[in-house]
Amino acid sequence: MSQTNTRGKLYAISTGPGASDLITVRGARMLGELDVLYAPAGRKQGDSLALSIVREYLSSKVQVRTRHFPMSSNDDEKIAAWDAIAQEIVHQVQQGLRVGFVSLGDAMLFSTWVFLLERLEHQIDIEIIPGISSYSCIASSAQFPLCMEQQSMAVMSCTAPVQKLASALTDHECVVLMKVYGRFAAIKQLLGELKLLDHAVLMANASMDNELSYRQLADVSDDIELPYFSTIIVNRAWSTR
């Protein structure tokens, strides 16, 4: 058994933003060597965007376990759910299995993977494979730079207070505004007040078949229905006009 036990390991594999070929070569190769793969399911039972991104790289022998993972761990029920998943993974790794966990975008940035990491980092052997974050993909796709030379960048969630977003937009040449969903009107107003509407792009579902892109934010209706994965990048040193 000792030989088998040495092989056991947990791999957190970042999928990148959505297109299957925007995963890393390392991630794609590792997916083909897994015994078990955990894939996070969205709200609908059994649906996993992360799994659909990586499916082409899996071997025929891998056992896929699609699970609904809580998006936070801030109450007893959610803590118990993460603890249970962590224990299940420990058990499999101790049996000598190569276990994968796929994470959208980059596993270390706004990812629930960290709830597993904090439970498992001293218990089992772990390898994390980084990925392209959504904003990096948006910058390339929209041909809209993030920052240069002595400039700086802030990555914010639009769930933050407007005053905090305004400070970031004043302090940094580039600001990435994640989670625009449901908050577009307020963000558009803020960008207007700061005269930044001509220095921003809005993109949803970057690199996926249903990608949406807007380069003239002043022309976008306040009550537009945006998809869940919507992000605005502001760069006051770059103009869309």
Residues that bind a second copy (CB under 8 A): 12, 14, 16, 19-26, 28-29, 72, 106-111, 114, 117, 121, 126, 128-133, 136-137, 139-141, 143-157, 159-160, 164, 167-168, 171-172
The nearest distance, CB 109 to a second copy, in angstroms, is: 5
By beta-carbon proximity to a second copy, the closer residue of 19 and 220 is: 19
Q: Which residues are within 8 A (CB) of 106 and not within 5 positions of it... i.e. 6 or more apart?
A: 14, 16, 130, 131, 132, 133
The nearest distance, CB 181 to a second copy, in angstroms, is: 15
By beta-carbon proximity to a second copy, the closer residue of 2 and 150 is: 150
The nearest distance, CB 62 to a second copy, in angstroms, is: 18
The nearest distance, CB 239 to a second copy, in angstroms, is: 11
Block residue for tokens 């992360």: 50
By beta-carbon proximity to a second copy, the closer residue of 93 and 129 is: 129
Both ends of the chain: CA-CA distance in Å? 65
Q: Are 114 and 108 in contact (CB under 8 A)?
A: yes
Token duo for residue 32: 């083909």
By beta-carbon proximity to a second copy, the closer residue of 46 and 83 is: 83
Q: b/e map of 27-58 (b: 16 or more CB within 10 Å)? A: bbebbeebbbbbbbbeeeeeebbbbebbeebb
By beta-carbon proximity to a second copy, the closer residue of 104 and 168 is: 168
By beta-carbon proximity to a second copy, the closer residue of 1 and 69 is: 69
The nearest distance, CB 129 to a second copy, in angstroms, is: 6
Q: Are 144 and 239 in contact (CB under 8 A)?
A: no
The nearest distance, CB 64 to a second copy, in angstroms, is: 20
Question: Is the backbone of residue 222 left (phi > 0), alpha (psi -120 to 50) or beta?
Answer: alpha
CA dihedral 183, 184, 185, 187 (to 10 degrees): 90
